[in-house]
A and B are shown apart, each in its own frame.
Chain A
């Protein structure tokens, strides 16, 4: 085979790979959209499910999802950001840093179901918190910690060195430099990372199913149990009841996740443009 023919053939295969990837995403989005859009109405979003087939709306599950996500972000943001500050600004390469990085990588690759069982064993049972928003949020925050740490560390490392030198040159201390110069400069990218992590938390199922409970409930206090949208979708789909509601839930989930992803993207692009 002539090398030009081989080249053309191979390149078309590569085009096909990329095309398939985009097509799969398109298929999932369009499919969920087309089937779910008829279901979306204020009534579906703001009323309670009722009856054996969970007719009606999914309001409590939306609240549960947002509640647990917000709570988890509240827990993980300070810890994750400060941990990244340590790794990027303070840490001296050595054994301790290697151990921390290995632990963070391991945590990032822990299957989410294990995080669910861990949350069940530690928070729900050993600490007697029971199935609750706070148990689920704590378990979720362990899952999100490595994501927040990595994106924040990358953001801080992307801040040019000379800005720090300028700050030190003016006599600022380490903490003054970090808190007033480096973190504000890295802020857009840190926020992007946090928003992406939020998107992951919204879509998480296996962690929350064993830590939040599965009964439909409108959570008020962090100790209340509930059922998030993902678990609701899982149960509707597995029991094969009320498929329209399943489509509607899936669409709402996708909209929320698209929203978080596109916001993060937009923030990043705006930041890039501003820096020229």
Chain B
């Protein structure tokens, strides 16, 4: 397709001889193609540059304090120069799991509703709402969580209301658009025949959804949830504003914790030396997690295509 010269066309009526594409024109076409290719490789260059520049700053963490002490150290304290990220990793994990537990059912439910139940009129309200939810800046979510949600949680759990519960609720809302949009796509690509077959057998709407559509779309839904998880792990500003930012292990839903992302934001402005290296090291780990999740989605989708 790409290099197919336009010379095989029949001669135009105005010219009597079959005129091939001129050399200069051919050169121009080839040059343009290469220019576009160059633009397309900008994405690859971006990934490489991020790895390189974030990686170079984070690399020395392997010598001091060593990879083991960095990954499995139980204390994060800049005053004593201890930079173990285990408490931050658990914080990220707890908040992400909480957000998925709350957000994934809500999102899948909304997607099923949009794809199977809603009348066109209802859909024309709900779908834009889901899309707008994706557009709200994370700092506004954080602000909302800080001012409205935090006092409510504080009444429930005691304390100030900063902690995993508040963060998980806010994150759950933030991952709904990601999961819902992708799940709706997955449901939309289920062949309509099996849906009709199910109804023809006398199944109710719910039986059709539960026994036919969800299994048929399961791979797409799992992909959607994995990508939602990626969003939750990487979300920064909203978490900083409600998690409490105390680098300690999970002690309860209402006790402040810190995550990989929020600790970077809090510390970056004043960190230096090993502290700074550790922050860049955390960024590398976050990058690897997010790329790993993307790769996982690819593997799952490819296996489905082959199977």
Contact = CB atoms under 8 A, between A and B. Distances in A.
A21 B39 contact: no
A112 B234 contact: yes
Given A11-B205, A206-B236, A107 B43 contact: yes
A74 interface: no
A17 B12 CA distance: 62
A103 B41 CA distance: 9
Contact of B106 (A17, A122, A199): A17
A17 B42 contact: no
Interface in A195-217: 196, 199-200, 202-206, 209-210, 214
Nearest to A117: B283
B43 A104 contact: yes
Contact of A113 (B12, B146, B264): B264
A237 B294 contact: no
Given A21-B176, A92-B2, A110-B234, A118 B53 contact: yes
Contacts of A203: 135-140
A110 B137 contact: no
Given A113-B234, A117-B54, A28 B140 contact: yes
Interface string B98-118: 000000011111101110011
Contact of A233 (B139, B209, B287): B139
A146 interface: yes
Contacts of B224: none
B204 interface: yes
B110 A17 contact: yes
A254 B138 CA distance: 11
B137 to A, nearest CB: 3
Given A118-B49, A237-B143, A261-B135, A21 B283 contact: no
Interface string A229-245: 01001100110000100
Interface in B123-142: 125-126, 128-133, 135-142
Interface residues of B, number: 97
The secondary-structure label for the interface of chain A is helix
Contacts of B43: 83, 100, 103-104, 107, 145-146, 149
A100 B40 contact: yes
Nearest to B290: A109
Nearest to B279: A117
B25 interface: yes
* A-side interface size class: 35 or more
Interface in B172-202: 173, 176, 180
Q: 5 closest Cβ contacts across the A-B interface?
A: A111-B234, A203-B137, A17-B109, A86-B36, A7-B204
Given A86-B37, A203-B138, 12 more contacts: A18-B122, A82-B39, A83-B43, A100-B40, A103-B44, A110-B50, A111-B235, A145-B43, A173-B25, A233-B143, A237-B139, A258-B135
Interface of A: 3-4, 6-7, 10-11, 13-18, 20-22, 24-26, 28, 31-32, 78-80, 82-83, 85-87, 90-92, 99-100, 102-107, 109-115, 117-118, 120-122, 126, 142, 145-146, 149, 168-169, 171-175, 196, 199-200, 202-206, 209-210, 214, 230, 233-234, 237-238, 243, 246, 250, 253-254, 257-258, 260-261, 265
